[in-house]
């Protein structure tokens, strides 16, 4: 099998090698007292290590390479940061290596001290065609370790999403309310139309919309016009009214239209982008949803109420898109599962982001509390994990499962996963 430096670092960090009769490549007795601190930044791989080589104690850093010649190939011999390397751990020893001052660096051949069974387990995980690499062993992990890993993954996913919010704030001059509305628009588009809804949120003139608040015709004209759904050949009188209003507003306020393409293939009518936009208008008109309202929420019931819009205007009772009537009526309200999704992806994210940005713990704590109070999401990924006896009890855990699948399992980052590491270590 092909050994990687990541695998070697994993073996070293967890001391998964035979420490009995350990020797350097020159045959000197070697004892590793302190493996060192794994360095994820520039410089040697492990810092502040402590070894005994022969009859001498050494304190310093440790560098890990596949081949000893990689030292020269990476130009470490010219880098002062590597002068304090006390041990060069390699898989293949093909060259004697020297420090910048010309002194020889002791070398340890790690391949001589690693159990081949561990390598076979790793190879199997990396080369499997299974849905997740460790699925045949997943049920062997005890529930406490699973729960602890899910807690960490949920927090990791929050942190990742919050960084996206911070990037948006940088792009929009730290205008929290504007970024909030852009993100709300994005999340209303679900996964399929998220990018185009995001673009719509950026194109919408928020200050102008505030001026026209509660005037449904004007606001729907701006929303649907900016979304590119209006044309001079409207299908009915209402869409013609919207078009004429949008033409006026566009000329007066230089409103631009989105470039993205709207998707509806194999989509349920309740998720059609036009109906979602009508619901956004209702959130703006009926609820005045804003970041300040999010920050004032006390519990899940309040959050759900915030997105619980009343019936849409008469036009939408028999429509899921502009112009096209349906054979039955519907209220057009936002469904319970969608509302819970908005709480997860909008309310929780902005509570956590705002709390982290300004150092206000109560908002971060409330975000985590909301996640733990919401029911677990039901989707194809969580359903498959249930087949492997990994059940989720709340939204924090279902979010963690999504993070696990997309950031670890799909990318074969088993060495960075606590479950993968446990399976490799335990055999």
pLDDT tens column, 132-180: 999 988 888 888 999 999 999 999 999 999 999 999 999 999 999 999 9
> Does residue 126 have a pLDDT over 80?
yes
> Does residue 235 have a pLDDT over 80?
no
Torsions phi, psi for 415 (to 5 deg): -70, -25
Query: For residues 280 and 182, what is the distance between their CA atoms, to the nearest angstrom?
Result: 11
Q: Give the end of a domain, one of 99, 114, 129.
A: 114
Mean pLDDT of 385-391: 91
Residues 98, 209 within the same domain: no
Residues 92, 183 within the same domain: no
> Does residue 250 have a pLDDT over 90?
yes
Range of the domain at 331: 172-373
> Does residue 427 have a pLDDT over 80?
no
Mean pLDDT of 279-307: 94
Residues 176, 319 within the same domain: yes
138 belongs to a structural domain: no
Contacts of 56 (CB under 8 A, 6+ apart): none
* Closest by CA position to 246, among listed 203, 286, 284, 279: 203
Torsion sign across C-alpha atoms 422, 424, 425, 427: positive
Least-confidence region, from 26-40, 122-136, 358-372: 122-136
Q: Compute the mean pLDDT over every residue in the chain, rounded to the nearest whole number.
A: 94
Q: Are 310 and 286 in contact (CB under 8 A)?
A: yes
413 belongs to a structural domain: no
Torsions phi, psi for 272 (to 5 deg): -55, 140
353 belongs to a structural domain: yes
Torsions phi, psi for 174 (to 5 deg): 60, 30
Q: Which residues pair with 90 in a beta bridge?
A: 65, 109
The number of residues making up the chain comes to 427
Strands 56-67 and 46-53 turn out to be: antiparallel
pLDDT of residue 236: 86
Count other C-beta atoms under 10 Å from residue 99's C-beta. Answer: 16
- Containing H/E element for 70? helix 70-73
Residues of the chain with pLDDT > 90, as a percent, come to 83
425 belongs to a structural domain: no
Query: For residues 165 and 201, what is the distance between their CA atoms, to the nearest angstrom?
Result: 14
Residues 52, 178 within the same domain: no
Q: Are 271 and 189 in contact (CB under 8 A)?
A: no
Q: Which residues pair with 62 in a beta bridge?
A: 46, 87
* Local structure of 46: helix, strand or coil: strand
Reading the block at residue 281, the tokens are 């208008």
Residues 205, 100 within the same domain: no
Residues 58, 181 within the same domain: no
pLDDT in tens, 171-221: 999 999 999 999 999 999 989 999 999 999 999 999 999 999 878 899 999
**Cα 249 to chain center, whole Å?**
38
* Local structure of 67: helix, strand or coil: strand
Query: For residues 243 and 224, what is the distance between their CA atoms, to the nearest angstrom?
Result: 9
121 belongs to a structural domain: no
381 belongs to a structural domain: no
Residues 217, 87 within the same domain: no
330 belongs to a structural domain: yes
pLDDT of residue 51: 97
pLDDT in tens, 62-84: 999 999 999 999 999 989 999 99
Residue 114 per-residue DSSP state: S
pLDDT band at 100 (very low <50, low <70, confident <90, very high): confident
* Closest by CA position to 46, among listed 22, 69, 14, 13: 13
399 belongs to a structural domain: no
Residues 200, 325 within the same domain: yes
Residues 93, 181 within the same domain: no
pTM of the prediction? 0.88
> Does residue 102 have a pLDDT over 90?
no
Q: Give the end of a domain, one of 114, 139, 164.
A: 114
Query: For residues 135 and 385, what is the distance between their CA atoms, to the nearest angstrom?
Result: 9
Domain count, the chain: 2
Q: Are 203 and 255 in contact (CB under 8 A)?
A: yes
Query: For residues 375 and 398, what is the distance between their CA atoms, to the nearest angstrom?
Result: 9
What is the longest distance spanned by two Cα atoms in the chain? 94
Query: For residues 140 and 125, what is the distance between their CA atoms, to the nearest angstrom?
Result: 15
pLDDT of residue 1: 66
Residues 109, 195 within the same domain: no
Residues 102, 193 within the same domain: no
pLDDT of residue 140: 83
Residues 231, 341 within the same domain: yes
pLDDT of residue 386: 93
Q: Give the end of a domain, one of 373, 393, 420.
A: 373
Count other C-beta atoms under 10 Å from residue 390's C-beta. Answer: 20
């Amino acid at each position: 099998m092909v050994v990687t430096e990541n695998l070697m670092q994993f073996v070293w960090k967890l001391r998964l090698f035979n420490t009995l009769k350990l020797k350097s490549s020159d045959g000197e007795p070697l004892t590793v007292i302190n493996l060192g601190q794994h360095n994820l930044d520039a410089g040697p791989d492990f810092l502040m290590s402590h070894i005994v080589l022969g009859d001498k104690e050494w304190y310093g850093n440790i560098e890990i390479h596949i081949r000893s010649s990689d030292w020269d190939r990476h130009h470490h011999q010219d880098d002062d940061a590597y002068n304090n390397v006390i041990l060069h751990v390699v898989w293949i020893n093909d060259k004697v290596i020297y420090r910048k001052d010309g002194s020889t660096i002791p070398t340890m051949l790690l391949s001589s001290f690693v159990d081949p069974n561990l390598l076979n387990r790793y190879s199997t995980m990396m080369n499997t065609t299974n849905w997740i690499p460790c699925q045949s062993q997943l049920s062997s992990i005890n529930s406490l370790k699973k729960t602890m890993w899910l807690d960490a993954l949920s927090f990791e996913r929050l942190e990742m999403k919050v960084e996206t919010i911070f990037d948006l704030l940088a792009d929009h001059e730290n205008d929290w309310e504007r970024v909030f509305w852009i993100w709300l628009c994005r999340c209303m588009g679900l996964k399929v139309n998220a990018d185009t809804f995001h673009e719509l949120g950026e194109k919408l003139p928020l200050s102008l919309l505030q001026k026209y608040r509660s005037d449904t015709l004007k606001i729907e004209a701006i929303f649907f016009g900016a979304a590119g759904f209006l044309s001079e050949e409207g299908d009915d009188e209402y869409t013609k009214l919207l078009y004429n209003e949008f033409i006026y507003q566009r000329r007066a306020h230089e409103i631009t239209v989105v470039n993205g393409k709207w998707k509806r293939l194999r989509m349920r009518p309740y998720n059609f982008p036009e109906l979602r936009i009508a619901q956004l208008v209702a959130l703006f008109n009926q609820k005045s949803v804003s970041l300040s309202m999010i920050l004032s929420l006390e519990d899940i019931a309040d959050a759900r109420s915030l997105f619980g819009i009343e019936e849409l205007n008469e036009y939408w009772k028999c429509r899921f898109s502009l112009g096209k009537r349906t054979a039955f009526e519907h209220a057009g309200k936002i469904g319970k599962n969608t509302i819970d999704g908005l709480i997860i992806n909008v309310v929780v994210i902005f509570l956590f982001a705002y709390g982290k940005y300004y150092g206000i713990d109560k908002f971060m704590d409330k975000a985590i509390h909301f996640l733990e109070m919401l029911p677990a999401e039901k989707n194809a990924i969580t359903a498959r994990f249930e087949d492997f006896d990994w059940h989720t009890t709340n939204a924090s855990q279902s979010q963690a499962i999504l993070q696990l699948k997309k950031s670890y399992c799909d990318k074969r980052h088993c060495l960075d996963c606590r479950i993968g590491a446990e399976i490799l270590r335990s055999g």
